[in-house]
Amino acid sequence: MAQVLQPFANFYQQVDYPDLITGLEQPDDAAVWKLDDDRALVVTTDFFTPVVDNPYDYGSIAAANSLSDIYAMGAKPFLALNIAAIPNDLPKEMVSEILRGGMEKAREAGVVIAGGHTIQDKEPKYGLIALGFAHPEKLMVKGGMRECDVLLLSKPLGTGVITTALKKEIAHKEHLQTAIASMQELNAKAGALALELNAHGATDITGFGLLGHAWEMAKASGCGIRLRMDAIPLLPGAEEYAKKGTFAGGAFDNQAFYSPHVEFDDIPEYKQMLLFDPQTSGGLLVSVDEETYKNFNPKSGLSEVFTEIGRVIPGEKILVR
């Protein structure tokens, strides 16, 4: 869920909403409303312009990305609406391919798309408004990290630099295919495992890049973070395009905005940039108690879903070693 509405929070402050667990003063991946002692309703929306050429893949990626914020809260999605902007001259078949991609991805997640709204616009835009249920005591908020926690990441980085390479027509087909498959992957399994691990905090990696989203968690939790550059998984091709400087403007915006909070060891600039690069439908970043992590059932498939990339430490900086 984007946070563009945050400035309006002051406007509502006179009114108290005791059942609103996140939103307004505690913005998170999704708004959460407590229904009763066992259930909270989780609501989010996200939509964007095409990141790939194939309309079916675009629809599927946009849906996976919208549902990701539900998983990032420790919730399970069940219902969604389409939200779309379609140019007048876009062929009908392409429009139905976008919607089919979204619908099939939603179905894979066990979610029904029960309607939606489309407007006309110059550039296509597509995404979902998604609803899920969580247990109010088991929410994975951004501010839940604790010192000494292990930090886990569920998808490799590199979707930004690779889709930018596609726009510049220098992307290799195999690199693009792997990036598309990664963006289409639901964070369902990662979310379920994070719940089993009793994760203290979680978020999904999207437009602010790994460091932007990691810093949001650090700030909200009052902790610092130490990351190991060598441990951070990268998509095939990501380093190659990073060396060529194939970053979109958003990566430099993130660098300018977040670098005051980050200290790098001797790490080449192109590698640093990969950590600022905006991701589409990125993985979950999860903060887990060290003992729980060490003693977790090795047959759970944990190591196939998550990579350990760092630790929560005292302080208020992100250190990258």
Q: Residue 28, interface with Co ion (CB under 5 A)?
A: no
**With contact defined as beta carbons under 8 Å apart, do 73 and 192 qualify?**
no
Q: CA-to-CA distance for 211 and 259, rounded, in angstroms?
A: 9
- 118 and 82 Cβ atoms separated by less than 8 Å: yes
Question: Tokens at residue 246, please?
Answer: 């194939």
The whole-angstrom separation of Cα 262 and Cα 320 is: 7
- Count the site residues for Co ion by CB under 5 A: 5
Residue 294 to residue 166: CA distance in whole angstroms = 40
46 or 97: whose CB is closer to Co ion?
Answer: 46
- From residue 105 to residue 144, the character string flagging contacts with Co ion as x (rule: CB under 5 A) and all else as - is ----------------------------------------
Are the CB atoms for 289 and 196 separated by under 8 Å? Answer: no
As measured in angstroms, the least distance from the Cβ of 72 to Co ion is 5
Residue whose CB is nearest to Co ion in the complex, by number: 29
Under rule CB under 5 A, residue 29 binds Co ion: yes
SS3 content of the chain, % helix, strand, coil (to 5): 40, 25, 35
Closest CA to 202 of 312, 84, 40, 64: 312
- Report d(CA 16, CA 240) in Å as an integer: 51
Nearer to Co ion, 138 or 228 (CB): 138
The DSSP bridge pattern shows strands 112-120 and 76-86 to be parallel
Note whether 185 binds Co ion by CB under 5 A.
Answer: no
Residue 216 is a binding residue for Co ion (CB under 5 A): no
45 versus 96: smaller Cβ distance to Co ion: 45
Q: How far is the CB of 45 from Co ion (least distance, A)?
A: 8
* CB contact set of 92 (below 8 Å; sequence gap of 6+): none
Q: How near is the Cβ of 58 to Co ion at its closest, in Å?
A: 17
Span of 34-42, 44-52, 164-172, 188-196 interacting with Co ion by CB under 5 A = 44-52
Does an H or E element contain 276, and which?
A: helix 269-276
Helix (H, G, I), strand (E, B), or coil: what is residue 225?
strand
- Residue from 21, 27, 40, 46 binding Co ion (CB under 5 A): 46
Stretch that binds Co ion, among 126-134, 201-209, 260-268, 306-314 (CB under 5 A): 201-209
| Binding characters for Co ion, 57-96, by CB under 5 A (x = yes) | ------------x---------------------------
Specify the residue, 66 or 164, whose C-beta has the smaller distance to Co ion.
Answer: 66
Beta-carbon contacts of 192 under 8 Å, excluding residues fewer than 6 positions away, are none
Q: How far is the CB of 44 from Co ion (least distance, A)?
A: 6
Q: Is 204 in the site for Co ion (CB under 5 A)?
A: yes
Binding of residue 1 to Co ion (CB under 5 A)? yes
The footprint of Co ion (CB under 5 A) covers 1, 29, 46, 69, 204
